[in-house]
Structure 1
C-alpha cells in the first residue's frame, strides 16, 4: 500500500531513503551503464564485485555488497535479467552502410557464379523443440537438454552452387562409420576433441578449395566472417574477403524497458 500510494499522481517524485552508500551506488550505476554500451555480459556477482572495489577505493569498510544490497540496487535502477538474442545490437549502422556500399567494388571482375560465401553453424543433433503439448493447468517443465553438437561449415555461390559441407565431429571413426568410408559421404568429414572449427582444419579446407578452383580454371572471391579460426592466407585462385568483425553475445542484465538485442 505504501508503494501504491507513493506512485499515485502528484507523488511521482518519490524520495529515496539514504543508505550511506550513495557514492558506491552512483559509481556502480555509472559502471553498469557503460558496460551496457560496450555490450558486456553483466551478472549479479560481477555487480557485487565492482561495488566492493568502488567501496574499497572510497575507504568504505562497512559496505558488504550483500545479496540484499544487490536486490535493492537492481530494483532501484529498474534492472532485470533478460536474454540477448542475435547480434544486431553489436553492429554499427555506419559500418553496415559502408560495407554495403563497398561490396559491389569488391565483387568487380567476378561473375556471379564465382562469388561465394561461407560460414559455420553448430548443430545440436540430439536436442528437441522447446514447445510441447501439456495438460492445461499443469506445470510445463522441461528436462535437461542435450548439449551434444557437431559443426557444419556451409559454402555456396551467388547463383546457388553448393560446395560439399565440411562436417566436424568428435570421433575420428564413429561407430556408425563401421562399414562406411568417410570419403564416400556427401560431406567432408573431419574431427577434433571439441568438434569445433579451428585454424588447422580451416586452412586445410581452404587449400583444398583453392586446388579445386585451379583445376576448374576459376578464380573466385570468398566472403567470410572475421573469426579467430579463419586465418588470412594468400591463395592463387581463391581471394578471401573478410566482413567486419561481430562479437557474439549471450545474456545479460538489462535496464527494464530498453531494447538490448
Structure 2
C-alpha cells in the first residue's frame, strides 16, 4: 500500500483520486492472482531430473459431512465453545487427466454396504463401496485399478496415472491399459489434486 502511494505521487495522480486502503489491497491481490500459500517442505526433496508426467492424477479426500465449523466470529469478551467434532465421514477417490477435461466417476467409500438412504435409488452418479474404517485401503485400491484398466482396454486407450506412494496405493501388476507411477516426494510438484481441485 505504501509503495502504491509512492507510485501515485511519481505519476502525479491527483490527491484523493485513489485511496490505498485494505479493500484496495484485497482487490489488487485478487486482480493479479496473488494468494497466501503454505510453503511445501516436500518440494525441497523433489528429484528435478525425473520425467515430467503429463497424464492422469488420482488422490483421496475425506468428506466430514456432519462436522461443524471450527471457526466463527464472536465478541472477544464472550467464551466460544462447541461440542466434540463429529468424525463421521465418507472418503472419495478423485481421478482426472492433467487438463481436467476428462474425469473418472468419483469412487466413494462409506461405512454401510447398503445405506438406508439408497433404498429407492436405482442408479448412483458415483461408484459406491464400503469398509468399516471408511478410508481407502490397499485392498480397495487394488480392486479399483483393474476395473479402470479393463474400461480403458475396452476403449483401446493407454493412460498413465500418477499416484502418491502411501501404503494404501500398492503397486498393481498385470495391467494392460494403465501404467501406475508412484514417484517418491513428488506430490507437491505433480499432484494438482492437492493444489486446489479437491
Q: TM-score, normalised by structure 1?
A: 0.52
Q: Give the Cα–Cα distance (whole angstroms) in 2 for the partners of residues 231 and 153 of structure 1.
A: 15
RMSD: 2.0
- Identify which of 156, 180, 190 aligns with 2:121: 180
CA contact (8 A) 1:123 1:151 kept: yes
Which consecutive aligned stretches of 4+ in structure 1 deviate over 6 angstroms post-superposition? none
Secondary structure at 1:179 match in 2: coil
What is the CA distance between 1:213 and its match in structure 2?
Answer: 0.6
The residue aligned with 1:213 is: 152
The residue aligned with 2:72 is: 132
Secondary structure at 1:151 match in 2: strand
CA separation of 1:230 and 1:87: change in aligned 2, threshold 3 A = farther
CA contact (8 A) 2:108 2:126 kept: yes
Q: Give the Cα–Cα distance (whole angstroms) in 2 for the partners of residues 244 and 87 of structure 1.
A: 18
- 1:133-148 equivalent positions in 2, closer than 5 A: 133-148=73-88
> Bigger radius of gyration, 1 or 2?
1
Q: Give the Cα–Cα distance (whole angstroms) in 2 for the partners of residues 245 and 171 of structure 1.
A: 34
Is the counterpart of residue 200 in structure 1 residue 148 in structure 2?
no
How many residues end up aligned between the 2 structures?
147
Is the counterpart of residue 168 in structure 1 residue 109 in structure 2?
yes
Secondary structure at 2:50 match in 1: helix
- Identify which of 25, 34, 40 aligns with 1:88: 40
Secondary structure at 1:102 match in 2: coil
Q: Give the Cα–Cα distance (whole angstroms) in 1 for the partners of residues 162 and 43 of structure 2.
A: 19
CA separation of 1:87 and 1:200: change in aligned 2, threshold 3 A = farther
What is the CA distance between 1:135 and its match in structure 2?
Answer: 4.2
The residue aligned with 2:17 is: none
Is the counterpart of residue 189 in structure 1 residue 141 in structure 2?
no
- 1:39-118 equivalent positions in 2, closer than 5 A: 88-89=40-41, 91=42, 93=44, 95-96=45-46, 98-99=47-48, 101-104=49-52, 106-107=53-54, 115-118=55-58
Q: Which runs of 5+ in 2 are unaligned?
A: 1-37, 187-198
CA contact (8 A) 1:226 1:244 kept: yes
The residue aligned with 1:82 is: none
CA contact (8 A) 2:43 2:185 kept: no
Q: Give the Cα–Cα distance (whole angstroms) in 1 for the partners of residues 40 and 139 of structure 2.
A: 30
CA contact (8 A) 2:107 2:127 kept: yes
